[in-house]
Amino acid sequence: MSLQRDWRRARAIAWKDLTAERRSKAGFNAVTSLAITILVLFGFALGPDTRAVRDAAPGVIWLAALFAGVLAFNRSYQSELDGGALEQLVLYPGSRKAIYAGKLLANFVFVALMLAVVIVAGIILFQVVIPSEWPSLLAIILFGTIGLVTLGTFYAAMSSRSRAREVLLPLLLFPMLVPVLLAAMEATKSLLGGNMMGDAGAWARLLIVFDVVFLAATFLAFEAVIEV
């Protein structure tokens, strides 16, 4: 019963965040523009060497996702802070884990949509050949996004009370994201290089372990983080 109530609340929070975002569109446009700008700049920096550009594609795409994600995570709590809504949000009865779950869900949808645009742009700009194991590639992107969003949502909550949150969030988040992004990037690189049976599987398993550990740890710690 309590889980059902928490799930209803989490869905309500996700619906609220996504509805507000859909209506303003400012966040999605800004974040996606930043990500595509990063791709274009790297494309120019790497020059006309097709092989070099193709090899760099996984790293550049995940890097673009990282920088754009930080903007998205900051924005997800900004709407709560603007009109004093965060106080009301934490005052609603029930477990505060539902708040985290709702924010996580909304950020996941937001970042996944942004990544979809970035990946399509990356495929075109970096002349990436889509491998025959594309479902595995999709799975890696999914697990990478879960890891990115889990830590991003958690640390955005932690830094949301600080006046210097725009500076604080990257400082807290980037070191924690290194293992997730490294595993996601290496798995993507192996798959795009056609090395499905080798490194890709190992990196994918590592990525899943990181996701599970970070999800469990952040859910357990969130109540303390959001305490007013």
Which residues contact another protein (rule: CB under 8 A)? Answer: 5, 8-9, 11-13, 15-16, 19-21, 23-24, 79, 82-85, 87-95, 228
Q: How far is the CB of 73 from another protein (least distance, A)?
A: 18
- Six token digits for residue 62: 């995940």
Whichever of 26 and 40 has its CB closer to another protein, that residue is 26
Whichever of 86 and 118 has its CB closer to another protein, that residue is 86
Q: How far is the CB of 221 from another protein (least distance, A)?
A: 17
Whichever of 6 and 186 has its CB closer to another protein, that residue is 6
Q: How far is the CB of 3 from another protein (least distance, A)?
A: 14
- Six token digits for residue 160: 């949301």
Rounded Cα gap, residues 168 and 162, in angstroms: 8
- Closest by alpha carbon to 65, among 177, 167, 216? 177
Q: How far is the CB of 52 from another protein (least distance, A)?
A: 43
Whichever of 87 and 166 has its CB closer to another protein, that residue is 87
Whichever of 21 and 186 has its CB closer to another protein, that residue is 21
| Burial class of residue 115 (count of CB atoms within 10 Å of its CB; 0-12, 13-18, 19+) | buried
Hey, CA dihedral for 177, 39, 75, 216, is it positive or negative? negative
Whichever of 38 and 99 has its CB closer to another protein, that residue is 99
- Six token digits for residue 48: 């006309």
- Taking residue 209's Cβ as centre, other Cβ atoms within 10 Å add up to 12
Q: How far is the CB of 126 from another protein (least distance, A)?
A: 35
Exposure b/e, 177-203, CB count within 10 A at least 16 = b: bebbbbbbbbbbbbbbeeebeeebeeb
Q: How far is the CB of 90 from another protein (least distance, A)?
A: 7
